[in-house]
Every structure is written in structure tokens, then in C-alpha cells.
Amino acid sequence: MPGFFSCGLRSPNHSRRIGQNGQMSQAPFRFEHPFLDLPVDPVTSSHTRQVTGALSSQVLPTPVAAPRLLAQAFEVAALLGFEDSLVHSDEFLQAFAGNRLWPQMQALASNYGGHQFGHWAGQLGDGRAIHLGALVGSDGRHFELQLKGAGPTPYSRGSDGRAVLRSSLREFLCSEAMAHLGIPTTRALCLIGTGEPVIRDMLYDGHPEAEPGAIVCRVASSFLRFGHFELPARRGDVVLLQQLVDAAITREFQHVLTLPEAERIPAWFTEVAERTAEMVAHWMRVGFVHGVMNTDNMSILGLTIDYGPYGWLEEVDPSWTPNTTDAMGRRYCYGRQPEIAHWNLYCLAQALAQLMDDPEPLQAGLRRYAEVFTARHREFSLGKLGLPSAENRDDWLSELFGLLRASAIDFTRFFRSLGELDIDRAGTDEGYWIGFLTPNSYEPDTVPATWSGWQPWLQRYALLRRAEDPEVVRSRLVRHNPKFVFRNYLAQQAIDAAAAGDLSVLERLHEVLRRPYDDQPDAEAFAAMRPDWARRKPGCSMLSCSS
């Protein structure tokens, strides 16, 4: 790691472009600032404090010693209109390391609260995220840019506002992997090493260590969270709450403005619920476990946000959580994600109820969440088997997950392998089925004992598959089942290599994850099951929130 601290590349001095307050004197892009339309904290220092009556606080990023561009997302850069030459320029590096702001960038940290692990936590806010403003993308949409790990804000709660390479790399790669999987998510423009150490206690066990620091630039059309609305509601600040709701609808849900005023909040909330249901159904489809579904980590746009102690199902286990903090209660385990999302929406509804004479219409949004999630989850689950979602087969699907769990089967590899299954032999030839299943089991000795349960299930599956066109089945299987997901042990390999100054693993992994549904024969190693060495290694099985 010491080698990483000194490997930042200082670019040539472009001080002629720098004006007062560390800002560049030329403006390559025009930034907008939606937060400035809402109350801003009049205090301009970064000292930790309670901020009332304001959505955001002005704050400047803290400069870093030796920034270095470690990775970029080409698609995101293109979406923002950033040419490759700009991304590799000193102007870009200094701006997205937080050293020099471009003209018209306005650095802000937003103010929100939230329920954490089911309990109201009060004011939280952007403790290490700093908004730079919004750009109009090449597709006409607005995109907000924010730096995560760029220094303290009034919401840092005593922390340094920094982030380590470990967590920043995980956020950069996972947000991009999720986008290419077709899952609603925030995006990442770039990953920058700071050239400075950050002290973190990774496992909260009293053994802090110096780790390489990094900053990731996150991109989304909005970073508004459920917690943004909860905080003013909890404080009884209905004026700010109404302003915030009006701004959210005007900016992101303009079609709602065509409705009578009394119908707007229920209609908007219902759409938030629908988007949330769609997102969680996708999580369940690919085996993603967010790990910390606090209300402050829930986007009103139904985007996956805040990639912390997340993970991917390896052996099928609905009770698995990647978060060490959640190891006892397992509130945020894979199987409870649909329920927790509904609970979080209920918390948002409670906040919005303060703006309504009769909050009953909000119940329709909660019901709509359940309807959309149930329909989409059923569709995705059957699609993973290559089948249409024409009828309710929930009991049969539940039976499948029980069998997969009993056989300790790798979630991603099993479903991807169904395209190679000889359906005529699977339910009648015990030896063939055991040979098919065993390579995807973490406990292969358990597989033969499950045959009696598998056989009737497979025979019904064979009947259903034979009733479908084989090409249609194959298309569904590929569309619903990625071959490559961002497993934690892959992340750790990229982290270890990057910390030693080797970015090749990060670059290759990024390339593979951009095409998760393609076979990519030269990338078979990235589709492998979790190796034995990763079973207990920190960062490969469970993670803390430390970043």
C-alpha cells in the first residue's frame, strides 16, 4: 500500500486557467443547480452541526496531494458530452479530485435524515458526498454530478469526509456493472486516487489501518432520497417539505403536474412505489443484496444508490446478508429486500401525509408496490427458467429455491447453465442430473441426496419447456441470466492489485462487466464460483460499512 500513496501522477501546471477560490477561469460546460432553488444553509463553514430549514449547505471539496485517474466509464462520459481527450486532461483530473472547480460548479452537500436498521436516526446528510451541479446530457436529460470522498461537510458527523480505494472501487465498478445488467442505478463517471492515506477500521475491531484514499464521481438525474422528505417532516417543517415535494415533481415527474393539485402527491408517491418495486425485482433476479436498505439509501427514482456492504448470492440462501452490522438481525438479507422496500415506502408515506388533509390515497401507492413487485418478480423468476409468466407458479418456484438451497448451488451459474440442459434426460437420468448440478455446488457431497426432491420438479419443468419454442426459451434464458456478476471476491482481487499500483485487473474486470450477458470465452475466470480462499477473507464474504 505505501507504493500506492506515492504513485499519483502530477499533471503539468495549468495555473493560467485558475481564477480566485481555486476555480478555473474557462468554462467547458454550463452547470445548473437545482438545489439552489430551495433554501440553502446560510452558514458556509464545514463544521459538523444540525442544519434546519435548509435542503443543502455550501461546502468546498478538500484538495488532495497527488490525484491520479484510475478508471473511467466511457458510456457515462459520452452521455455527459465529455470527450476522451477532456477526461484525460489535467482540467478534468483537478476538478474531479476536488482540487479546482470549473466555473459554474457550485459545491453543495445535501441535508436529509433516515431510518437506519428500522430506527429513526435523525439528521444524516451527505457526510462525504459533495454535489457539483447538473449538466444536460447528450440525450437531453439532466444529470447531477457529485464527488464521494472529497472531504468533510457539515453532515460528516465527526468523520473526515474521505473514502478509501476499497469502497470507492467497489462503488465505481458495481454501479456500472448494474447499469449493464439493465438494473436501475446511479452511474459512475470516474475513479480517482488521491495519493493520500485514509485511516479506517475495516472490521470495527479496534485495528485501524492506513488505506489508499480515492474519490468516485457519481452521476444520476437526481440523488433525492426518501430521507430528504423524512427529515423536514419529522421536524414539523411542512414549508420545506412542500417545497421539496414540488421541486421533485417539477424536475423529475412533470407529467404529474397535469393532474388536479389534490391528486399530485398520491400519484407521485405511487410512481415512486412502482419504480422501487421494479428495482427490487431486478435485484432479486440477479441475486444482488444491497446490504443497507436504510431509508436514506432509497432513491425516489427507484435507482440503486449507495453501494456499501453489498454482495451477490453465491450459494442460494435467502437469509444471507453481506453486511457484518446486520449479521445478527439479518434485516437486509436477500429474502427480506421486498418487505423492507415496502416498509421504507411506508416511512415515506408517513412523511408525505403531513401535506395531505386525508392521507388515505397514499395507501394506493403501497398496494401498487405489492402488485408491481409480485408481477415483475414472477415474470423474472419464470424468465430465468426460460418460461413465460402467463400463470401463477409461485409454489413451484419456491420449491425450486428450496432445492437449490439444499444442494448449496451457485445462484448465477445454475440459471446461466440451464441453456445447456438436456431437458429430456434431466428428470429421468439421476447420473446425468447429478453430473450437471455438482460443478455448481459449494457442497457437492450433498447433491446426490437431493435427487428425490429434484426429480418431480424436473419432470414438470421438462413438460413446461417442451411446450415452448426452443429458440424463444433460449432467448429468455440469456436475457434474464447474466453470466458475469460483480462477485465480492472479484472486487477484492481488483482492490488488492490496485492498492499495489496494478490497474490491469480493474480494467479487465470493468471490460468484462460491460457485457454481462455475452459468453466471452476468454473471460471464463470471471464467471468462476467463489474460491475456497475467499470464503472467510474480509471483503469477499461479508463487509462492514467502513469506507
Active site residues: 296
Sign, CA dihedral 418-421-424-429, equals negative
Residue 212 grid coordinates: 489508499
Q: What is the rounded radius of gyration, in angstroms, for the C-alpha atoms of the chain?
A: 24
Paired strand residues for 311: 289
The DSSP string of 205-223 is SS--EEEEEEEEEEEES--
Of 366, 307, 97, 22, whose CA–CA distance to 186 is shortest?
A: 307
Backbone angles phi, psi at 330, to 5 degrees: 50, 40
Please state, in angstroms and rounded to a whole number, the distance separating the CA atoms of residues 281 and 284: 5
Grid coordinates standing for 520? Answer: 466471452
b/e map 525-539, b = 16+ CB within 10 Å: ebbebbeeebeeeeb
| Nearest alpha carbon to residue 36 among 15, 58, 4, 52 | 58
CA-to-CA separations, 431 to 4, 426, 451, 527, in angstroms, rounded: 51, 9, 10, 25
DSSP 187: E
What are the cell numbers at 315?
450459494
Q: Which of 81, 218, 74 is nearest to 138 (CA)?
A: 81
- Residue corresponding to grid cell 485517474: 69
In angstroms, the CA 178 to CA 302 distance is: 13
Distance CA 323, CA 314 (A): 15
Per-residue 3-state assignment (H helix, E strand, C coil) for 350-374: HHHHHHCCCCCCHHHHHHHHHHHHH
Residue 261, judged by CB atoms within 10 A of its CB (0-12, 13-18, 19+), counts as exposed
Instruction: Retrieve residue 205's grid coordinates.
Output: 475491531
